[in-house]
Structure 1
């Protein structure tokens, strides 16, 4: 999806009339441009500090020259560029997509033959890239577009020449965790072998639907890439050995891109027969739709605002900033012939005047991507209530320039349902931001839809960090990563001196997030504490949990952690109680606020949950007291678990949105502007501050993590907050 041009955007860059914004990021802005002959292009304008650096311009010009030499039908070609412009720019042929990541998210892994065709063509593309003296450095599913006649490799935004070691500072990780080589994860220079490693990751993803080193927060992915073996069990036997060679830790042991091409080559039939039917329909639809684009008048400049230097060609330069632009809506549509990169998808969304409220003010809508999944009903209710409270507080302010409304849509906990909700929200131009999705599945499958539309959304209830594979533009996660909280269990044990021989059950029926957290608990207990751990793994779809608990009791443990779903944790509590075990016991953090206290009864007393979710009613700060009072007034009850984080996220969205609303105008704010602001936000919430890392994940300093992580203990049949880890550190004591 695209956004209208801003008044500050140029109307033309060289031969390209600019039509829409395709995206914006740290390096600059990407526009959809069109030549007078009707050829479409993606025009990237560099707007970073590097644009003023002569060395940067020299390298940029050199890379453009090298990129122009890449001759491959599977690489998006460079059409034109200017490294000497006030703001350097690069134009490449426009490809409508969809990306491989989007196709896999929507329809699952590709069949083996389709994946081999994909891999063979991408290997051929990389062979040409390397022959031109370039290293791509960011081969990933989001940079592979699917067309009717084959895939296309795009985005040389981080590419560098093979012999130019000064392009990137030493020790800086460039690329996408989960799809980069071990040497890149260590901050070392990337080589052609690094691209081959990334190609192996992409092939594994295409064939299995998952990256070979799993999912999770970026630092965990980097660690596993360097130290762990890839998971290739679900790949077909004919491709597994070749992909395993691509993923060798030693770059010298990997095949060349040409060797990969030779090992994967399949005949590519005419049309879209190389793709499974659902993906082929997806590609064909986007590649054959009419593209209704507005005709654009030459830039109109208000009297008295001409450039002082009198440069008549100023409107053609990317640094030109017209004072006003009018769009003439075309009555017809430009029909583009189907056939891969020469086709385009329909770009929709008008910059109409927003719907007015009864008071004459415009009304904007905060969407809530909720769920009907019974397992996460408490989280859904907390998010919906938080959004209503935040909006009500805005609408109570006198002299406000606009009103807000809440629109709640609930998915049924399925891939299709999550995508449907995201599609409905993005199609509604009154929706300016979304709180959610609530669940991991929806976050993973809907993120790319929100990203394509530039509709900013923040999830406060998810912590499995693989959404960035699909969406790096407007998807944010304000919840603490699941895996990180495994470390905080160990820190809690250290602070309260509740250490000893740990028995840890990793119940795989709890899902990937629990598996990642469990492995971190085991490793941190051994490495940080220097303690002994006796781990037990319970396989999915088995009833081996009670036997695992009994085996640990027989091994003579002093402390216990059960990382699994609610039912299994309740049974573990009962097994321990029957055995008279009185040592410290930890549950996985997602069970805070669950029915564990009532379900486990007396057996649940004394269990801990270490989580970033705060009980705001237990805090004494003014911000927490005000929030608790407002919640009680509206809902006649204390804030439930996860309410404070959802409220913080909604308020953060609305605060930053207010800064994107044009002053004194009745036209809509540009959607993409909110995402740009959120990427740089620093917001103080009820119990912790919020900021986002390079992959739009929640991030904080060491002290911020400690201040914002809370320990809850089951006492008298309910969860009671003992304090933050910082509180416990300041007043250490032995509990339990």
Structure 2
């Protein structure tokens, strides 16, 4: 999504009249520009302070020179550059379509025929790159834009000549984990075959909607790239054979781009965008139409000097522009309104405004009300309502907040629709949610494009920062931390023994990443023997893994799997008479495990930052529990406390961005405050890491992560991992 020009922005650069801001980062700004001939361009301008380093200017000049070498209709064209200017700039043809990552995130995987066409054209693009003597080194979904007449490969920021090692340090991993070849993951020199491997990852992502080596921390992705086979489930036939070849661990076994193009070649589509599914084609067409509707220049927006509360004035009265779309180095995003189905919308005032003049703002609440995430959605929705009601009732509050609750069905389409609605409404200052990982992956892209802050207390994937690096925050601990928590709780309780660890891949990359941490921590930190076993997806190997580990005389058991598989394992262990310590995934806290497992579930542990405030004796926990009971007639349910804290933190930081006397704050201001915020909640202190996740430390891992055990048919909180540091 584009933004209005600011007073400090230049009017023109290198013969390009600048129209709008397409995005900004630490190094500079990308503008939508128009040449004297009327051609649209994405103009990247580097800030003077960033360009003060002469070595940086050398690299920037190389980027422009290298990109300019390539001649292909499927590689974005360089229109001009000047690395010697006080503020260096690079202009490329503007592509008015979404990135591949955005298209798949919003609309789901592409059909096999579309993947084959995409692969054919991108293979041709890589052939041109390699013919120019270059290696791209960062082929990924965000660097593939979908235009009306086909895809474009962009971003030569880290490309280099095939025989150039001068700017590459030995052992340095450069590129995007998850789309790097094994040789790059090992820090070795990248060659043309490395780009083919990356293209295979991109096509696998387009075909399945997931990266072939899962998600998680960069180290985990690099390890799996080198040692694991790619996840290509759902891909079959010749396309599967082609992807297998591209993803060969040995670079010599991968096809050259020309061979790859021949194997993937499809008949040319009847229409320029007929190869794309209808929803994606419509998005591309809409973006293209919008980019052509540029009769005037958007006026610069200025604030009246000395009074931030006064309405902003425009220098000229001109027709407004809305330019949506991808651009070089940016993942674009539409923000058109998408009205939700009748009966699913819920708006609450949370208390009346104290006066007619008091401003009112809207907090969007995105939850899933059905399926396995329904309980999470209910707890989060209730927590948001309580936090907002308390804000509105507090003496001295300068504004009123309304909540607008939307159910996203836990699907990509549902989450995208809800996110578009919230993004299009300028009264919405932030969004609490989504509550599920699938919804988060789709919605965060939309919020990123709209600069709309969203905070989730129930997700924990580590890679949302890639697609939403400025406005998406997670107050739930990273999933990988759950593995460390299990090992630490075993150590603290004196229950470290020979452990059997079962990792069921049916639970997705979360179980695998958490399991890797458990195994490593048990072996290297606790110094104890561990026997890991992996259950492949779509198999029934779980019981066999349990039998085999029991036969090896394990004393501890960690079973990381979805609910039904864990319940079955509990029954199997109970029938075998196993009474040693047993841990499940933190994702099952608050689930139906106690009821479904029955007597076999008694004694199982789950370790999670989620707290039961009703058993704490602190003043704040007692107050919160009483307020919840008064409003809802029960004690707070699992995950309610973290949701309540998250909304309270958002409201506190938002209040500090509201101009005195009212007015609409700039959307990015809230995210900027949250990134630096520290908030003391009911049972823990919240601060964010550089990736906008809850910052896990040795202190809060011990004192603010809680051990729960199944007793009497329900989860009961035993205490923090390290009771002596706890707030019981």
TM-score bin (small chain)? 0.7 to 0.9
* Matched position secondary structure for 1:101: helix
- In structure 1, the residue matched to 2:588 is 591
- In structure 1, the residue matched to 2:377 is 380
- In structure 1, the residue matched to 2:31 is 31
- In structure 2, the residue matched to 1:669 is 665
Task: Call closer, same or farther: CA 1:536–1:111 in 2, change over 3 Å.
Answer: closer
- Per-residue CA distance 1:348-380 (angstroms, 9 max, x = gap): 69xxxxx99653133221111111114222211
Is the CA contact (8 Å cut-off) linking 1:144 and 1:153 kept in structure 2? Answer: yes
Is the CA contact (8 Å cut-off) linking 1:24 and 1:676 kept in structure 2? Answer: no
Distance 1:303 1:232 in 2: 57
- Does 2:222 correspond to 1:222? yes
Distance 2:84 2:659 in 1: 33
Task: Call closer, same or farther: CA 1:181–1:596 in 2, change over 3 Å.
Answer: same
Distance 2:607 2:7 in 1: 48
For residues 159-558 of structure 1, what are the structure 2 equivalents within 5 Å? 159-160=159-160, 165=165, 167=167, 173-187=173-187, 190-251=190-251, 254-269=254-269, 270-289=271-290, 295-296=296-297, 325-326=314-315, 328-330=317-319, 358-468=355-465, 470-507=467-504, 509-518=506-515, 520-522=517-519, 524-525=521-522, 529-533=527-531, 535=533, 537=535, 540=538, 553=550, 556-558=553-555
Distance 1:406 1:168 in 2: 51
- In structure 2, the residue matched to 1:712 is 708
- Does 2:119 correspond to 1:123? no
Task: Call closer, same or farther: CA 1:219–1:653 in 2, change over 3 Å.
Answer: farther
Is the CA contact (8 Å cut-off) linking 2:503 and 2:512 kept in structure 1? Answer: yes
- Does 2:726 correspond to 1:722? no
Is the CA contact (8 Å cut-off) linking 1:415 and 1:441 kept in structure 2? Answer: yes
- Per-residue CA distance 1:291-346 (angstroms, 9 max, x = gap): 555844876999999xxxxxxxxxxxxxxxxx975352428x8999xxxxxxx998
Is the CA contact (8 Å cut-off) linking 1:11 and 1:299 kept in structure 2? Answer: no
* Matched position secondary structure for 1:328: coil
The equivalent position to 1:614 in structure 2, one of 611, 615, 624, is 611
Distance 2:29 2:323 in 1: 26
- In structure 1, the residue matched to 2:648 is 651
- Per-residue CA distance 1:459-484 (angstroms, 9 max, x = gap): 22122445456544533333223344
Distance 2:483 2:473 in 1: 22
- In structure 1, the residue matched to 2:4 is 4
- In structure 1, the residue matched to 2:327 is none
Task: Call closer, same or farther: CA 1:248–1:120 in 2, change over 3 Å.
Answer: same
* Matched position secondary structure for 2:63: helix
Distance 1:113 1:402 in 2: 53
TM-score, normalisation: structure 1:
0.83
Distance 2:599 2:35 in 1: 74
Distance 1:282 1:176 in 2: 26
Distance 1:680 1:193 in 2: 42
Is the CA contact (8 Å cut-off) linking 1:693 and 1:699 kept in structure 2? Answer: yes
Unmatched segments (≥5 aa) in structure 1: 306-322, 337-343, 350-354, 732-736
- Does 2:154 correspond to 1:154? yes
* Matched position secondary structure for 1:268: coil
Is the CA contact (8 Å cut-off) linking 1:96 and 1:345 kept in structure 2? Answer: no
- Per-residue CA distance 1:677-704 (angstroms, 9 max, x = gap): 5455555544445455565444434544
Cα distance, 1:122 vs structure 2: 1.6
Task: Call closer, same or farther: CA 1:36–1:682 in 2, change over 3 Å.
Answer: farther
- Per-residue CA distance 1:226-277 (angstroms, 9 max, x = gap): 2222233543342444433433444455444455445444453452233344
Distance 2:507 2:231 in 1: 19
- In structure 2, the residue matched to 1:91 is 91
- In structure 2, the residue matched to 1:314 is none
- Does 2:67 correspond to 1:71? no
* Matched position secondary structure for 1:137: coil
Distance 2:213 2:534 in 1: 22
Distance 2:416 2:461 in 1: 18
Cα distance, 1:219 vs structure 2: 3.0
Is the CA contact (8 Å cut-off) linking 2:100 and 2:206 kept in structure 1? Answer: yes
Task: Call closer, same or farther: CA 1:684–1:176 in 2, change over 3 Å.
Answer: farther
Task: Call closer, same or farther: CA 1:304–1:399 in 2, change over 3 Å.
Answer: closer
Q: Which has the higher mean CA deviation after the structures are superposed, 383-392 or 677-686? A: 677-686
- Per-residue CA distance 1:199-226 (angstroms, 9 max, x = gap): 1211221223321112334332122112
Cα distance, 1:512 vs structure 2: 4.5
Task: Call closer, same or farther: CA 1:50–1:681 in 2, change over 3 Å.
Answer: farther
Q: Which has the higher mean CA deviation after the structures are superposed, 618-627 or 599-608? A: 618-627
Task: Call closer, same or farther: CA 1:538–1:526 in 2, change over 3 Å.
Answer: same
Cα distance, 1:283 vs structure 2: 2.6
- Per-residue CA distance 1:426-460 (angstroms, 9 max, x = gap): 12121121111111221122222222222221222
- Per-residue CA distance 1:58-117 (angstroms, 9 max, x = gap): 321232233223222111122233334443332222212222223333444333343232
Task: Call closer, same or farther: CA 1:330–1:33 in 2, change over 3 Å.
Answer: same
The equivalent position to 2:560 in structure 1, one of 552, 559, 563, is 563
- Per-residue CA distance 1:523-569 (angstroms, 9 max, x = gap): 65455544142637386486x76676566555543222333333443
Distance 1:698 1:100 in 2: 29
Is the CA contact (8 Å cut-off) linking 2:678 and 2:687 kept in structure 1? Answer: yes
Is the CA contact (8 Å cut-off) linking 1:115 and 1:207 kept in structure 2? Answer: yes
Is the CA contact (8 Å cut-off) linking 1:690 and 1:700 kept in structure 2? Answer: no
- In structure 2, the residue matched to 1:642 is 639
